[in-house]
Amino acid sequence: MTAPTIIAVAGASGSGKTTWISQELERKSPAACVYICPGLGEVSVDLALIGYCYPKVKVLSESQIPLVQMLPEDTVIFLEIGFHLNLNIPFLSSFPCHRVAVVPPDLQQSEWHDWALELVPGNAIATPNMANPPQVWCTSLTGQVFDAPSLDEILIEITGGAYGNVHRLKGIFELPDGRAFFVDFVQGSKGIAYRELPIPLWLEGRPDRPSGIEVIGWQLELQAIAQAILDSCLSAAAIDYYQEQYKTLNQEEEPIT
């Protein structure tokens, strides 16, 4: 008799945990895989990202973890453990578990080294000093649509230190042309990375699919960050206007058959 197998993945913020899991999902049968990322309640950029990029993967929120007991026996569960969580999660002792740590290449010793059965070289980031752990702030942005130039300006300001020392920022943002983008920044990397998500265009009112933002850092001015993000959102009237324009444009671009 077999049982669901857990691949628990831990490491520093920005080390590349989600990237490594994505690479593993590419190699495996997504229909037999589950992704869980606890620690942020029902708001998780990574949950939405995996769900969008791998629609056959079952994503479970923190409150849905008990459902693991009902999964088929040959299921592979990827459990991403944030840097701010205790590595000794009792849940891990219930199933066969393989522990993977994604660590910066230059990091020779850490709690992740002691915990892991497998070490994977990750991004060459400066590991946060866990004696002075950073803040973690996240919020849902579902239903919000952003003016792209304004959003870009705000993200540059936030990652540039205008509202505190930001170590990591990632988010999913909707644009008025119906596309959604994953935004990723790690302190020390080359700027902000933008990636269009492989999901249908949304051109009928406010999107009701998940989007959100997660910011990790020190001395964060959270109220100011939240207000800056909201200032780059479009009004309902502006969303309707732009969507009508893009719908007309899309019709004009359809090839004649």
- Angle formed by the axes of helices 45-53 and 17-27, nearest 10°: 20
Out of 126-140, 189-203, 232-246, least confident range: 126-140
- DSSP assigned state of 130: T
Task: Match 């959270």 to its residue by tokens.
Answer: 222
Contact status, residue 5 vs residue 98, Cβ threshold 8 Å: yes
**Of 179, 220, 185, 175, nearest to 199 (Cα)?**
179
Query: Does residue 1 register a pLDDT over 60?
Result: no
Read off the pLDDT band of 253 (50, 70, 90).
low
Q: Are 51 and 57 in contact (CB under 8 A)?
A: yes
Determine if the pTM surpasses 0.85: yes
Reply yes or no on whether the pLDDT at 186 is more than 80.
yes
pLDDT digits (tens, 9 = 90+) for 98-149: 999 999 998 889 999 999 999 999 988 887 677 888 999 999 999 999 999 9
Q: Grade residue 239 by pLDDT with cuts at 50, 70 and 90.
A: very high
Long-range CB contacts for residues 236-242, cutoff 8 Å, separation at least 24: 236/205, 236/206, 238/147, 238/176, 239/145, 239/176, 239/205, 239/206, 240/205, 242/176, 242/177
Report d(CA 181, CA 192) in Å as an integer.
12
Pair of tokens at residue 216: 């990790």
pLDDT tens-digit series, residues 38-94:
887 777 899 999 999 999 999 998 888 888 888 888 899 999 999 888 898 877 877
Q: Is 186 helix (H, G, I), strand (E, B) or coil?
A: strand
